[in-house]
Structures are given as structure tokens and as C-alpha cells.
Structure 1
Amino acid sequence: MTKKLYYDSADIQEWSTVITSAIEREDGIYVTLAETAFYPHGGGQPCDTGTIGGIAVLDVVLEAQEVLHKVAQLPGQTEVDCAIDWARRFDHMQQHSGQHLLSAVFLKLYQAATVSFHLGSDYATIDLDRSELSAAELAEAEQEVNRQIYLNRSIVSYFVTAEEMAKLPLLKLPKVTEDIRIVEIEGVEHNACGGTHVAATGAIGLIKLLRSEKQKGHVRVTFLCGGRALAAFNDHVQIISQLSVKFNTGKEEIMDRIGKWEQEQKLMQMELAAVREQNDSYLARELLAAAEADSRVIRLISDTRTLKDLQSLAAKLTALTDLPLLLLSAAENKAVLAHSGSAEFSCGAFFKAHLGGYQGKGGGSDKLAQAGFPSWEDALAFYNFAKEQF
């Protein structure tokens, strides 16, 4: 059985050992080691990665108390030097230790026990045995958990027997009855856990609570610890700095400036909508005036108008004429077919019958249909075909 060095010390980053076996499976090659500091998936914590004999470790799993290391290829020697991806490991240690501390704080402040923990690549979450959590409670928990970090309480782990475990103030009993590992935060909690942790709460750095939301009868709290929290803070500072430059104001006045900008945009959109409405009316009358006396369809190819613009124009035209309309957007390779209801054909049925021959997709009602094409050539070919059908 592999000796699990991560139980002796979570700070081991490099060591030398021997490969004791190699297993080839459908999903890849796995090796076992005489000693390993690679932590396998478990307890909500992802596995470590790194190298064995210079070969990348892709996954680490625990099967029947044996640690299996999935490698990119089999190392060429049995005696190997191993190295942990320390940045990944330390991040996991910060998040996992932070979760223990945060769970203890929620339990102390609100009697809200943690029912599940998830450590993702970007953020971590805990689900609390509580139906809701107010913003004030979230803020209070954040203040308290960071106060506990500043106290730099020691975090130790050790194995106990079932009899010794029975004397400890554990909130939740583990499923195992032997090799029971306890993680203790000095003066805060005892927790049965097999994960890797920092040596003291100060190494967590800080904890930032991002949000809380209801989740299947519980409250899910999303949070960041340590390096992740610092990276998020730096991202936010950069965004605020860019907004300050963009709006030419200090960060204290950004929201006021954004509010004024939104009002200006609303006014501009209203003015633009009015201009478009007037322009559509002018264009509709121009198209009707330019139509020949024996015209069977009103046609238009526009280089700038979108599908939405063409639909608006179609509404104007169908109110003024009983002729069918065939409109094409060169900007979006989209077509519109419409009529007032007096025509003896269905726009949607026409598109359904003929679009396939031009790689077009779309549909609609008897009075209005629209379609898109993968290229301008396809759109124009369909337009030329359709105009000859009326």
C-alpha cells in the first residue's frame, strides 16, 4: 500500500520514490508509488497534479486505499523524482481550510450547519442547513471569519480511534470506523476530514463572501479564499480604474455618471426610434411611388438595414398596399416576405417550400416570414428566385 505523505505533511512538494506497479486502462495509464504526496480526489477537494519522473500527472484517485496516478505516459524508469504543482495544492489548502473556518462561523453565529461543500476551479461553495440568509448576516459572517483568520489559530491534523473520537465535539460523525483523521482549528472546531490544510488560519489570507442564494431548501454561499480573493479584488480594481478613465471621474462618482449616461442613452434611443419611424414612412412612400403600374411585388435590397429594420418597414408597407413585399438585408443575409392579407399565398409556406434549395432557414405566418442564409450568394440567389414567383 502506498505511504500517503500528504498525511505526514501538507507542505511536501518534491520527493523521490519508486514505481511499484503500472496499470493500463481504457482511459489511460496509471501507476502506484511506494510513497506519494499527490492528494487524490476526496472530501470535496480536487486532486493534485504535477510530474512523476518528468511525466505529467493528469489525475489522482483512491481505490481500496491505494493511490492511483494517471500519467501522460509510462516513465522510462522505476526510480523517479516527483513534484507537486504547488500553486494548485496551496490554493486548494487555502480554500479547504477557509471552508472549515467559514462553516464553523456560520454554525456559531446562526446555528446553520454545512450540508455540502464544493471546491471548483474558480470559486468554492457551501450549502447551509437554512432556508435563507440576509445580506446583514452574510456581512457579519464575513467580518467574523476574517477576524478568526487574523488570530492566526493553529490548524493540526491527527488520527484517532473510535473511542478517542467519541470524546471529541464533532458535529458530524464520519462514515469510517478506523483510520479516522481529525482536523482541528485551535479553539474553533474539530472536524473529521482527509483533506490537506494550511498550518494556521493566517495562511488562508482572507475570505470574501460573494453571494448567497436559495438552493433546494438550503442556502448556498459562494466564496473565495486567499489568492483567489486577491485576484478577484485586483480584477475589480482594474475594472473600476478603467471606468474612472472612461467617464473621466473618480471612483466615488462612477455610479452617478453611469446613471446619467443611461438616461442620455434612453433619450438617444427614443430620438433614434422616432427618426427610424419617420424614415420608414418616407421610404415606404418612395418605394410605392417608384413601383411600376403593373408591379406584382415591392422589392428592396438594403446594405445597412437589419432584419428588425426590414420587419418594421414591412409593417409600414402592408398598411399602404396590398402588393406582396420582398425585402433583403445585405448586412445580415436575411430576407423578409410579407403581405397585407389579401394575397392568395402563405409567406411561411412559401419559405418552407423553397428555402432548403438555398441553404436558408426560417419561417413565419401567412402574412409575414423571415429567413437567414449562410452567405450573401445564397441570400441573393433566393431573392432573385422569389421575385420571379409573384
Structure 2
Amino acid sequence: MATEKLFYQNQYIRSFSAKSVRSGTDEEGRSYVVLDQTAFYPTGGGQPHDMGTINGVNVLNVEEVEGEVRHYTAEPLGIHNEYTGEIDWERRFDHMQQHAGQHILSAAFEDNLGYKTVSFHLGKETCSIDLEVKGLTKEEMKQVENTANEIILENRPIDTKWVTKEELGQYHLRKDLSVSENIRLVIIPEFDYNGCGGTHPDSTGQVSSIKILHWEKQKKNKIRVYFVCGSRVLKQLGAKHQIVQGLTDTLNAPQEELNNSAANVLRQNKELEKIISELKFELIEYEADKLLDQEEIHRDQKIIKAIFSNRPMPELQSLAKTIADKSSEVLVMLVNENPDKLQLVCARGEAVAINMNDLIKQVLPDINGKGGGNASVAQGGGEKVIKAQELMERLVSKM
């Protein structure tokens, strides 16, 4: 097993030959093969697994299970004398850049500010570290980012070294080790010393650059910092530039004025929303007065009934309440018909004794519906199993 680990941690191997130890299928029905040696990195230490092919078959996942490295493949590989593996190099080198960048960034946080990294995640688009600190400022972030990129520009070597537990005293490690044997150190001389089994380039210059994107608070006094390294910096820059260019065209403003232009648009939208809300209120008032002119008498009770199509429920509720407020003796029954459902709202004036919640619950079962409310106003909805007019007639009959 130690030989196998040495092999997959040799980060510049792109292809290899091996013999099968065994193959099998796990409890989820996934096919896998275990080889006598492998250059595929299994998920671990915050770094995702490698991808690629074995004998031309796609490797979908690589995991270390019960001390062996399992290569999960798109289809069973069959029995062969020899297996040839090919690493997806673009993915591998990206992971190398991100992982080394995390070492540099974490060391810069600790050296500059004394903030320790407690976890690391290498995602598909961005990476993140969790810092043991309550808060961060823009000035602190800028300071750390500058230090990290200076270390990259100095093109310092990134060395790996296997040591024994007794030899650890020679190194100033940033965190405690999780293993006591097969100890592998990743070293950036005079800057960072870490126990790590991940893959890294052989110099800081190959990380290319580090960019902190943003940060957010987490539970238990931690801050999560999102960042990218290497080719991901260019990818992020390109994507963001396209967005900025699109906003520049949409808002008809140069890049440096986008914030002000966007703020003006939002302010204008709020003003328009306020005007629209006021106009809707006036329309509801007008509509309520018009419906009051159409009141009927049923069993000595004044009623207002109306059927609508595709009317928003909040508008129906507002309309029913407005009518009830305008006339203390009226009972309001509104039905709304949508393509696949029926809705209803009932409201009463102060002088009406009928309970609205009880009223609608007598007809909701007819449409397999649900709803509720109180004695003054209630609403509900259900399936369109009967016509809107029939629902209204049943509602009136239950008064």
C-alpha cells in the first residue's frame, strides 16, 4: 500500500501500466478495479479524485476503501494481463494549482494575521478555506492576497519529503498531523511546512496567481473565504468581463459608472412599484364599488358574487376585503378559474353572522381542495373537477 501511495502522489505522472489485484461491484452496483499500482489520486484531504481512462474505459470515481484504491469505471474492465491508465492531465494540473494555492493562502493568513485554516474544499469552479476568526476586513484580505502572490512571483520550490515521526521535530508544521506513519511533508522553504498527501506543482510560480473572490460568516466564529488559482483566475476574469460588458450595454454606462447606474435603476423600479401599487389600490376600490352596485338578495342576505379567470389570489383577497369594508351587511363570494384549478375567497361585513371559514369548508371537498381562514374572511383552492359556475352555485346554497 505504501508503494501505491507513493505512485499516485507522484504528481507529474500522466500514464502508467499496472496489473489487476482484483475487480468487483460495490453495494450500489458500481464496477471497480483495484490495481497493484496507480497514478489516479483518490478523493481525500479536500482534493477531488482524478479522472481519465483505464484501457480506454472512462474512470468515473476513485476512492480509498478499506486500505485499497478502487477505480470506478463506466463499464467492467474484464480480465487482462496488463492495464494502461491515462490521467486527465488538465483536471490534475488544475487540482495541483488549487491545492498548492491553498497552502500559500493559508500560510499568508497565518503569517500576516495569525488566522488559522481549519478546513479546505476544492470545488469544481471555486475553492474555499474556513478560518478560525470572527470577522475579516477588505484591508486584511488585500494584505493577504498580496503576500500570497508575492510568494508565487518569487517562484519558490515546492518540495515533498517523506519523514518519520521522530524527524518531525526538525520542521515547524502549521497543524497537527492526522497520521503517524507514511508521513509526507509538502514544503515551501522558509514559508510553509505541512503534512499533506495531495498533488502540487514543483514551484510556486506554476500556481500562476491567486485571487480572493469573496468571504462570508459561518457558524461558531468562522469565516469562509472563496478563492481561485491558476487558470481559474483567467476563467473567472473572462466570465466576469462578459457580464460587465453586457451590463455596460444594457445600462448604457461605462464600467466605472455601473454601480451608480444600477442603483438608479433599482431606485426607479421601487418608485414605479409604489405607483403601480397605488394604482392597483384605486382599481380595486373602483371594482369594489362597481360590484356593490350588483348586489343580490338571497335568503334575506345581501350577497356579492363574481367569477374571474386567472386572477392573482392576493388581488381577489384584497377585492373581497375592500367590498366587505365598504358594506357591513354584505357577504362576498368570489371564484377564480385557472387552467387546472379553482380558487375561492369569501368575506363578510361586520353585521353578517355567517362564519366564512365554515362556509368554504362545506364546498372545498367538492373540488378536493384545501383552505381556511377565520369568521370574517377565508380562502381556498382545489382541482378543476367542476365548472366555476357550479362551484359558485354550491357556495350560495350552503349559506
Q: Tell me the C-alpha RMSD between the 2 structures.
A: 2.5
CA distance in 2, matches of 1:178, 1:226: 32
Matches within 5 A, 1:295-310: 296-303=302-309, 305-310=311-316
SS state of the match for residue 155, structure 2?
Answer: coil
Contact 2:307–2:388 under 8 Å retained in 1:
no
Residue 384 of structure 1: CA displacement? 4.8
- 1:9 aligns to 2:16 (yes or no): no
Residue 276 of structure 1: CA displacement? 1.4
Cα distance 1:356–1:216, how it changes in 2: closer, same or farther (>3 A)?
Answer: farther
CA distance in 2, matches of 1:39, 1:354: 64
Matches within 5 A, 1:356-371: 356-371=365-380
CA distance in 2, matches of 1:369, 1:319: 15
* TM-score, scaled relative to structure 2: 0.88
- 1:62 aligns to 2:64 (yes or no): yes
CA distance in 1, matches of 2:52, 2:359: 61
CA distance in 1, matches of 2:26, 2:310: 58
CA distance in 1, matches of 2:149, 2:179: 32
Cα distance 1:136–1:353, how it changes in 2: closer, same or farther (>3 A)?
Answer: farther
- 1:202 aligns to 2:209 (yes or no): no
Name 1:258's counterpart in structure 2: 262
* TM-score, scaled relative to structure 1: 0.90
Cα distance 1:258–1:219, how it changes in 2: closer, same or farther (>3 A)?
Answer: closer
Contact 2:57–2:74 under 8 Å retained in 1:
yes
Name 1:73's counterpart in structure 2: 75
Residue 108 of structure 1: CA displacement? 0.5
Task: Tell me the percent identity.
Answer: 35
Residue 101 of structure 1: CA displacement? 0.5
Deviations 1:33-77 (A, max 9, x none): 122111112112122222222323232222454212222332134
Q: 1:135 aligns with which of 133, 138, 147?
A: 138
SS state of the match for residue 324, structure 1?
Answer: strand
Letter in 2 for 1:221: V
CA distance in 2, matches of 1:225, 1:206: 6
- 1:284 aligns to 2:291 (yes or no): no
Letter in 2 for 1:284: A
Contact 1:156–1:199 under 8 Å retained in 2:
yes
Contact 2:8–2:40 under 8 Å retained in 1:
no
CA distance in 1, matches of 2:360, 2:294: 26
SS state of the match for residue 106, structure 2?
Answer: helix
- 1:248 aligns to 2:252 (yes or no): yes
Cα distance 1:130–1:292, how it changes in 2: closer, same or farther (>3 A)?
Answer: closer
CA distance in 1, matches of 2:83, 2:122: 30
SS state of the match for residue 115, structure 1?
Answer: strand
Deviations 1:76-101 (A, max 9, x none): 34222222233332222222111100
- 1:32 aligns to 2:34 (yes or no): yes
Name 2:193's counterpart in structure 1: 190
Unaligned runs of 5+ in 1: none
CA distance in 2, matches of 1:357, 1:55: 58
Residue 102 of structure 1: CA displacement? 0.5
Cα distance 1:13–1:364, how it changes in 2: closer, same or farther (>3 A)?
Answer: farther
Cα distance 1:281–1:230, how it changes in 2: closer, same or farther (>3 A)?
Answer: same
Q: Which moved more, 1:143-152 or 1:299-308?
A: 299-308
SS state of the match for residue 231, structure 1?
Answer: helix
- 1:326 aligns to 2:333 (yes or no): yes
Name 1:347's counterpart in structure 2: 356
SS state of the match for residue 91, structure 1?
Answer: helix
Cα distance 1:254–1:218, how it changes in 2: closer, same or farther (>3 A)?
Answer: closer
Unaligned runs of 5+ in 2: none
Cα distance 1:204–1:45, how it changes in 2: closer, same or farther (>3 A)?
Answer: same
CA distance in 1, matches of 2:9, 2:120: 24
SS state of the match for residue 271, structure 2?
Answer: helix
CA distance in 1, matches of 2:383, 2:147: 58
CA distance in 2, matches of 1:224, 1:362: 50
Cα distance 1:370–1:179, how it changes in 2: closer, same or farther (>3 A)?
Answer: same
Q: How many residues align?
A: 390
CA distance in 1, matches of 2:361, 2:296: 29
SS state of the match for residue 335, structure 1?
Answer: strand
Letter in 1 for 2:12: D
Name 2:47's counterpart in structure 1: 45
Letter in 1 for 2:40: F
SS state of the match for residue 26, structure 1?
Answer: coil
SS state of the match for residue 44, structure 1?
Answer: coil
Contact 1:358–1:379 under 8 Å retained in 2:
no
Letter in 2 for 1:315: K
Name 1:316's counterpart in structure 2: 322
Q: Which moved more, 1:289-298 or 1:373-382?
A: 373-382
Q: 2:233 aligns with which of 229, 232, 239?
A: 229
Letter in 1 for 2:15: E
Contact 2:363–2:394 under 8 Å retained in 1:
no
Residue 192 of structure 1: CA displacement? 0.6
